[in-house]
Each structure stands twice: as C-alpha cells, then as structure tokens.
Amino acid sequence: MAEKLKLDLSLILPDIPDERDACVERLTELLQAEGLEKVHLVREDGSARLCLHYDPQRFSVSRVRELAQAAGAKIANRFHHESLRIDGMDCATCATVIEHALQRTDGVLEASVSYAAERLRLEYDSEKIARQAIVRRIEALGYGVLEEGREAGWFAEHRELIFSGVAGLLLLAGWLMGLAGWPRGLSLGLLLGAYAAGGFYTLRDAWQSVKSRSFDIDILMIVAAAGAAALGAWEEGALLLFLFSLGHALEHMAMDRARRAIEALAELAPRTAVVQRDGTEIEVRVEDLQRGDRAIVKPGQRIPADGQVASGNSAVDQAPVTGESMPVDKQPGDKVFAGTVNGEGALVVEVTKLSRESTLARMVEMVAEAQTQKSPTQRFTDRFERIFVPVVLMGAALLIVLPPLFGFPFAESFYRAMAVLVAASPCALAIATPSAVLSGIARAARGGVLIKGGAHLENLGTLNAIAFDKTGTLTVGKPQVTDVVTVSGSEDELLGIAAAAESRSAHPLAQAVVAEAKRRGLDWNEAGEVEAVTGKGLRAQFDGKKIAIGNARLFEGAAIPEAVRQHAERLEAEGKTTMLIQADGRFLGVLALADTPREGVRDVLSRLHRIGIRKTIMLTGDNDRVGRAIADAVGLDEVKAGLLPEDKVKAMEELGQRYGQVAMVGDGVNDAPAMARATVGVAMGGAGTDVALETADVALMADDLSKLPFAVALSRASRRIIRQNLWVSLGVVALLIPSTLFGWAGIGLAVLIHEGSTIIVVVNALRLLAYKTSSVGESFRKQ
C-alpha cells in the first residue's frame, strides 16, 4: 500500500510566484519519472503542500524527501523568475518593443512589460540563455536594466526633458534667425539640431519597432517630421518633434509620481534592527534577521519584521500596511507587521518571518507584479493600436498618391498626409488606461487594499452583487454572551455560578461565558468535581451545591419550568444557542450565546448599496434560522444557508446567472473555491494570513470590512477616469483627422492639441492618487 509524504511547496520551489506556475508541473513530472506513484498539490493550513505518494518497499521517507529537494533545486537552478526594473522607456510602445524582442528570444519563456510600472516580468530557461544575455538584448534595444535598490542618475532621470529643452531652444533660435533674415544655411543648421535633439528617442523607438515588425506612434511621428522636411517646412517638423518629445517627458514625469507612490511602500521598513543575542544588544541589517530573533522596538520606531510581541504593551499604528485609521493595542502574543509604527510603549518582538517574507515585502512585490498584468481595456487599446496604426499609414500613402491624379497639388496633398499622420497618432490612447490603473492600484495599496492587477481593478467597478461568507467575515467568528435571563436571583449571581463551572472547560461556549463574567468584573471561586457531558453540557460542585449547565437534553426527565422553557424557545428562535442553569434541582435562568455581527457591518452594507451594489447575499453553512438572524441584524438582502463548500460554488454560479458580475468575500481558506468562481474574490485579513494574499484577487489587509466600499468606489472612479481618458483620446483623434484632412489645421496645431491631450489624460489619471470616499458616496478631494 502506498504511503504519503507532504512537504511545503515554498521550501521545494522558493522562487515561484504561486502554485499555478509551470515549474510545479515540471516538478511533478520529474518526480514521477523518478518512480513516485503520484505527485500533486494540496492546501493545508492555508499553504500549498506537495503530496508525494510512494511505495515504502522502494523508497524510505528520507529518500523521498531527498528526491523532492533535489528535483526542486534542479528546476530552480534551471528555470528562473525575475522582476526587472527597466530604464529608458519613454512611451507605452517601448514596452511592446521589449516584449516582442524577448518573446522571440530562444530560452525566454515569459516576458511581460509594464510601461506604467517600468517593470519586466520574466521567466527564462538558464540552460538556453543566461540572464546577462537577456540584459544585453534589452540594452541592444536602447534600454537599460536597473539593479534593485539602485536608482537612475540625475541625467538619466531627466534626459528626455533635457533633450526636449535643447530642441526647443534650437527651434526658437532657428526660427528667429529666419525672421531676422540671417543666412538660410545658419537657421537650417539650428533646425537640423532641433530635429536631432527632439527626434533622438523617437527615432530610436521607431527603429526598434520597425526591426520588431510592429507599427507604432513613433513611426507616424518620424514619417511626418521627415515629410515636413521634404516639403521644406523645417520649422513645423522641428516643432512637431519638440512638442512630441516634451509631451513624452512631461508624461514620464507625471507617471514617475504614481510609481513613487508604490515604491514608497518599500521604504516603510527600517534598514536596521536592534536585537538581543547572547545577552547583548547588537544592531543588524533587517535582511540578516533570523526567525526567533528578538528585536527591541523603542517608542516611535518602525517595527523591523513580522513577528509577535514577546514582551511589552503598546499601541501600534498599522495604517501603512492595513490602512486602519486608529492605532491597535498590542500585548504579548499579538501579531505585528514590518513597517508599522510603535506607539509610546517599548516592545520586544520575536521575529517569525524573514524580511523577504514579510507582509509588507509581499505587498510591494504583488503591487509591482499587478502593474505588469494588463486590464481588459488596455488589451483592447493594444489590439486597436496594432490595427489602427497600419491603417493610418496606408491612408496617408493613399492621400499622397490619389489627389494628385485628380489635379490636386502634390505638395499640398503630401503636407496634409503628414498632418493626418500626426493627428491620427493615438498617444493619449496608449497611456490612458495604464496611467489610471497604476494610480488606482497605488491608491488602493496606500489605503490597505491589495488589488492584484488591472483586470481586478476594473472588475470591482462592474459588480452588481456581493456574496459574503458569514463566520469570521460578517461576524466576529466566536460566540459571545448576548442575553442573561434570570428567573431566580440576579444576573451577576447567575453569570458568576456559570463562570465558576465553565472556567474548567476549554469549550468555546464555556470560554465565552467566562469572558463575559470577566468583562462585568465578577469574581468567583473555582468549582470542583466538574463532569462534562458530551453534546449536552456539564455538571459541577460549587459552594456545596450541585450545578448543572447545558442545553435541554441535559435535563431530560426533569420538569423544566414553563417560564424557563419559553425564554429558551424565544432565544433559540432568534438563532442563539441557549444554556439552562440549575442549582440543587432549582432552575435559575438561561444564558444565550451567538456569533455576533462585526461592529459597523450594517453601515458597510448600507454604503455598498449607496454606491450601486444592488444585492448583498450571505452564504453560510449554518442553518437558515441562524443565518437569517444575522442577516436581519446587519441588513443583508438574501440568505443561502446550510451550504457545504461545493454548494457555495454552485450558489456563486447561480448568483452569476441572476446578477451578472458578483464578488465573493471570505477569509481565503474555506471560501477559496467560491472566490475562484466569482468575478472578483475578496479576502479578509490579508496582513494576517498568507493564504488570503495568495488566493484572492483583492485582499483587504485589515481584518474588517470597512475598506470594501472604498475599494469598490475607487474601482468605479478608476473605470470612470479610464472612460474619460478614452473619450478624450479618441475624441481628439476624431476631431483632428478631418481638420487636417481638409486643411483646417496644420502640423503645428495638430501636434499641439495631440500632445496636450496626452498630458490631460495622465493628469486626469493622477487624480486617483488623491481619491477619497465620503460617508455618503464618492468624492475627489486632496488629502
């Protein structure tokens, strides 16, 4: 009979982004080729584990472990995953050029470039190509690769603006010389200089596009500028290249602002930490912290690593990671996160995660990764450009050739064709969506919401309905005493007797009774001779009395007073669990317990309805009575109760048919299948659980729902801005093409309006960085 061994996948393949990576399949095939009967993934305790089935007659446990580690090392050494920072991209089409070039390179398995984030997501086979060869290929295209932690120098950071400024000065000088009647050769030399400075990066990008057999905006601009020169309109050609380069430089500077909003996350963690080692305190780099180290965090300092409080009490500002507006009290045993700010008390924090594994580090990595994933609108505009640009080039060629055949002057026809090329360049269209996506994801991360890509940012804004798991999502997740009903004696007396008996039990209901008694400041003597009756309750000796606490089944055969019975039935009808309490055969009263709604859930649901969510639905494994009681308390529209995990998937399919776009909100563990079926899966408590970060499309970093309306409203604002940008960019193209075609606008005016629209859409997108929702709905205002 085969035996099984389970190993943590992150230990076997530490560098893969997630378990969907192709390396997992390669590992499975390699291990099965070694003779293991079956290899597959399972999820346990929120983490992916490799389950290996083997014949114990052929393999020992240690041998199976060795095989897995050796196979993992072999794959990790061969297949590399990297996220590289690209330097020198000055337009959205640069990303396409790099992508196309690398995707055709043998050994490169994946290459996805985000102009907005200046990032290349790369997977390559090191047996076929070396990393340095990939870097050289990128450099051959005219771009660079920045090592992590190293920034481009001042000149590199501002070179586009410098070249553009030089082009503008040369253009102005050449134009003034022409007006003053200076020799034409001198002014022409200056204009040629303006051509060279203004067209330097444009010509580079156009040449790379031609080599990669793709047509883009830079080609249109170079052809138009060359056409203007051919007609002798040097001033207009130089103006075209100057304004085009200036527009790109300003666009790049604006996009840098959005990038810095994301990169600022990485700067939150301190660079060093003071730790206790061998009885002394030493300062070490955060990267050198090990699990089990005890870091000393003084008042006002940032916590250096994820861990738990070993000693001390303080309030910690977790806003940098979770977005919570109020500091959270911490005491020994509580979790803390790297980058959060300690309050007025000193803490000793036991490190539980390495710096690269911290919640903050993973947030930064996932946000950077999110920028490389294109949204549906961006994919549409990319397809549109690939068709539109060749059509424009063919149209311009026809415009040059056909009118002269019917007697129209060739020079005029050629000039108008060049003006049409400028007018039809979809520069604003290319940057309209990525600029909004970058700003939206950056703003969400700053607000404690991790959105894993442009598609999820857009999809959040299309939701018509949201389904919620009950336990731990809508409710606190543990029982609390809700009612203390007495028929003899006082409430404190009744609760004190119950707490004395229940304090000897570890059952969640018993602990809830004890917690309520402590909250009321009650004292009690410990009960003796406690006897637990499984499924019914317990019996105990207390102050010389025989105490019995439990449900009605504990008292079978006894005469339960009608008043006690009525109270119990009323409370149970409200979906609560009841405990009857008896002392020496006399019933004293009833305690009611329930998993209570989270604070503020009703307000959250109300805000969701106000921003356009039509239906809110509960999916729960509890019975209908319990589910309905919670739903009525918080204001949910529908309840689907008694559901197993597979039933929740079917429920999501049915909700999708009824409402179209539906999100699922849960804890990311039991609800993972239903979240996968939803339009958007939203996990609670991303800062506390790795699985929430892994399984969801969107993670609310704090363990509360208050950020959900913000996330939905931000998404709708992002979609609105994307639509505005598309209307502006397409509207300008639609306006300028007939204007230049019929001679109402020349090259100069066309490029001025064209570049102006590009800057407008970027500035419009940057408004998302200052986005804030009001208590009533949505509004834009500076923070």
DSSP letters, 740-767, are HHTTSS-HHHHHHHHHHHHHHHHHHHHG
The pLDDT, as a whole number, for residue 79 is 92
- CA distance linking residue 213 with residue 222, whole number of Å: 16
The pLDDT, as a whole number, for residue 778 is 43
Half-sphere exposure at residue 370, Cβ-oriented, CA atoms within 13 angstroms: 31
pTM above 0.95, yes or no: no
- Respond yes or no: is residue 45 known to be catalytic: no
- pLDDT tens for 626-639 read 888 889 889 999 99
Backbone angles phi, psi at 102, to 5 degrees: -75, -35
**Is there a contact between 315 and 303 (Cβ–Cβ < 8 Å)?**
no
The pLDDT, as a whole number, for residue 576 is 84
Sites in the chain below the pLDDT cut of 70: 1, 18, 44-47, 91-92, 116, 148-152, 214-215, 255, 258-259, 261-263, 265-266, 325, 368-374, 668-670, 687-695, 773-783
Backbone angles phi, psi at 105, to 5 degrees: -90, 125
Task: Judge residue 687's burial from the number of C-beta atoms within 10 Å of its C-beta, 0-12 exposed, 13-18 middle, 19 or more buried.
Answer: buried
The pLDDT, as a whole number, for residue 779 is 39
Going across the sheet that includes 475-486, the strands are 475-486, 586-597, 577-583, 545-550, 537-542, 528-533
Q: Give the Cα-Cα-Cα angle 124, 130, 135 (nearest 5 degrees).
A: 90
- pLDDT tens for 570-581 read 988 887 889 999
Tell me the CA distances in angstroms from 381 to 92, 378, 387, 430, one per residue in order.
11, 5, 10, 7
- CA distance linking residue 20 with residue 118, whole number of Å: 24
Alpha helices per DSSP H over 182-327: 184-211, 217-230, 234-266, 319-322
- CA distance linking residue 676 with residue 280, whole number of Å: 49
The pLDDT, as a whole number, for residue 243 is 83
Q: Other CB atoms closer than 10 Å to residue 459's CB: what's the count?
A: 22
The pLDDT, as a whole number, for residue 535 is 76
Structure tokens at 289: 């912290």
Go through the chain and tell me how many residues it has.
783
Q: Are strands 638-640 and 662-666 parallel, antiparallel or unpaired?
A: unpaired
Q: Considering 293, 469, 595, 671, which one is annotated as catalytic? A: 469
The pLDDT, as a whole number, for residue 221 is 81
